[in-house]
Amino acid sequence: MSLKQFAVIPIIIGVLAFLIQVVDQLLAPMMPPATNVGFSWICFQSWAVYFFSGCTLKGGIKAFISYALGIIVSILIMTMGGAMSPILGFCAVPLAVGIMACAAIFLERNEWTSCIPALFIGAGAFFAFMNYVPGATFGNAAFTIMVYCFIGLLFGFITIFFRSKYEEKVKSGK
């Protein structure tokens, strides 16, 4: 593939990145919590997750499930850490993280919950949301993250779809 032919691929990705920002700016005012400034960063994370999940619809579904499991694990960590804090103080949250991280790895034994990197990225997104978004609750954080996760995974699917079609066209010489 020549440089001129290849140049179409970064343009496609640039257009998709532009569209994520447009979707975010339109969607943000409707998403909880109120007065948020948008969460396109979650889309970009999950867009990348689609690629390391195999660039397939099945991989995307597994990533979506694992993102949700990351949120559940995070809620359990925060709940457990909070409950143990009066007893263990400083060590409560690190102990909760250690216990839940250990338990989460067992999820890789099931085909549909085996995308552990997506679980950790989903957990990280949830912790970031809870710590830095004013008015965040477990419910509104989980809902908003999963909506934006879906958008990012969808854009990963669209990227592969358009890139594959374009590369086939170039290869066939049409």
Is 31 contained in some domain?
Answer: no
Q: Look up the domain containing 58 and give its range.
A: 43-158
Per-residue confidence at 173, pLDDT binned at 50, 70, 90? Answer: confident
Is 10 contained in some domain?
Answer: no
Is 61 contained in some domain?
Answer: yes
Task: Report the pLDDT value the prediction gives residue 48, as an integer from 0 to 100.
Answer: 95
Is 163 contained in some domain?
Answer: no
Task: Report the pLDDT value the prediction gives residue 37, as an integer from 0 to 100.
Answer: 85
Is 117 contained in some domain?
Answer: yes
Is 68 contained in some domain?
Answer: yes
For 101-126, what is the mean pLDDT? Answer: 96
For 12-40, what is the mean pLDDT? Answer: 93
Reply yes or no on whether the pLDDT at 174 is more than 80: no
* C-alpha to C-alpha distance for 81 and 73, rounded to whole angstroms: 12
Per-residue confidence at 61, pLDDT binned at 50, 70, 90? Answer: very high
Q: How many domains does the chain have?
A: 1
